[in-house]
Amino acid sequence: MNFSLSKEHEMLRELYRSFTVQEVKPLAEEIDEEERFPVETVEKLARYGFMGIPFPKELGGSGAGNLAYAMAVEELSKACGTTGVIVSAHTSLCAAPIYEFGTEAQKLKYLPPLAKGEKIGAFGLTEANAGTDASAQQTKAVLQGDHYVLNGSKIFITNAGHADTYIVMAMTDKAAGTRGISAFIVERGFPGFSIGKKEKKMGIRGSSTCELIFENCIVPKENLLGKEGQGFKIAMKTLDGGRIGIAAQALGIAQGAIDETVKYVKERKQFNRPISAFQNTQFELAGMQTKVDAARLLVYRAATLKEAGASYATEAAMAKLYASEVAMEVTTKAVQLHGGYGYTREYGIERMMRDAKITEIYEGTSEVQKMVISSAMLK
């Protein structure tokens, strides 16, 4: 069992870190305040190959694998949870299902622009009445000759306002239950497809979270992803992979919070000494870092298993479950250790706490993760 990173991974981490410090960190506060999607950062991420990290070079990717991808999301999230989720949702929830389930024609058409970051991806499963109960799909798709007609809507879709390519789930055969759901590749310009209201959120406020509205939306037959009725399975497998990205995001947020706190407690003086001299501070930090290290190992394990082609769904669920809980706990303590300053928006630490919360909810709530894990145990 090798716990050290290869030379490539170490150099990748250095790239991720310098990029994050110089390009991402300076904008983090502003995009949160203004609820602004960082278009300029995404262009730079694209230029340096961050938008297609695990995909092969022949398809426009960087050919670096899943561990390298998870590490990228982690490092970006240390400074900005929003930037981390933009990359994660784009890569795991849109590009990945096309790579894993697409026909050669679909892969050749859609993957290179996504992997090169020329186009941004999103994933539309959740509906007003279908959250944790994802199978309760009400969006319908009816085959009419050479195209499907989609009607319905999706909510809480990450990257929606800025994406070009969307993986959308819709019911093609209501009687068949989950086996009646199909997946489609929908392009922004398709007639009858529009973006609806943008959500105002507690955290990751720069992330574009919107409704998708389908009113007799025309989707060419060739854009069916996989077979009819395979959509639910595709969605679930896609979320398995997406969990690694979100776990990495939570991990990054947690570590970022610890790093800021360590700096702060060395500088802040009360009772004539830096507060890092107090045992309470020391013990809290020790506990926080230990949990984050444990989360890191779970995330890296899941990513490595996926990269090796082994089964990884349970491990990914564990990583997401644990990392998100740790992120919430660690960021809350981090605010506490900052005292009054931690509650002000002048310090980025309150933003990290607000950003952390969503990681326990999206791409499968913590409760769903527990369902996945226990069901594997009790098979």
* Residues at the site binding another protein, with contacts judged by CB under 8 A: 6-8, 11-12, 15, 18-19, 29, 47-50, 53, 57, 61-64, 68, 72, 263, 267-268, 341, 346-347
Name the 3-class secondary structure at 366: helix
* Minimum gap (Å) between residue 144 Cβ and another protein: 42
DSSP 182: E
Retrieve residue 174's tokens: 């209501």
Q: Are 134 and 159 in contact (CB under 8 A)?
A: no
Q: Which is nearer to another protein, 137 or 276 (CB)?
A: 276
Exposure of 197 by Cβ count < 10 A (0-12 exposed, 13-18 middle, 19+ buried)? exposed
Retrieve residue 316's tokens: 């990914």
* Minimum gap (Å) between residue 341 Cβ and another protein: 8
Q: Which is nearer to another protein, 38 or 61 (CB)?
A: 61
Phi, psi of 163 (to 5 degrees): -85, 165
> Interhelix angle for 65-79 vs 7-19, to 10°?
30
Say how many Å lie between the first and final Cα of the chain, rounded.
28
* Minimum gap (Å) between residue 347 Cβ and another protein: 7
CA distance 147 to 165: 17
Q: Which is nearer to another protein, 32 or 360 (CB)?
A: 32
Q: Which is nearer to another protein, 117 or 152 (CB)?
A: 117
Catalytically active residues are 363
CA distance 3 to 264: 30
Q: Are strands 181-187 and 165-171 parallel, antiparallel or unpaired?
A: antiparallel
Give the CA dihedral 73, 78, 79, 83, nearest 10 degrees. Answer: 20
Sign of CA dihedral 329, 331, 337, 339: negative
* Minimum gap (Å) between residue 324 Cβ and another protein: 26
CA distance 52 to 62: 6
Q: Which is nearer to another protein, 270 or 282 (CB)?
A: 270
Beta bridge partners, 274, equal 269
* Minimum gap (Å) between residue 65 Cβ and another protein: 9
Q: Which is nearer to another protein, 50 or 156 (CB)?
A: 50
* Minimum gap (Å) between residue 248 Cβ and another protein: 15
CA distance 285 to 288: 5
CA distance 131 to 362: 9
Q: Are 151 and 194 in contact (CB under 8 A)?
A: no
Q: Are 164 and 177 in contact (CB under 8 A)?
A: no
Q: Are 251 and 292 in contact (CB under 8 A)?
A: yes
* Minimum gap (Å) between residue 267 Cβ and another protein: 6
Q: Which is nearer to another protein, 7 or 200 (CB)?
A: 7
* Minimum gap (Å) between residue 105 Cβ and another protein: 24
Q: Which is nearer to another protein, 12 or 134 (CB)?
A: 12
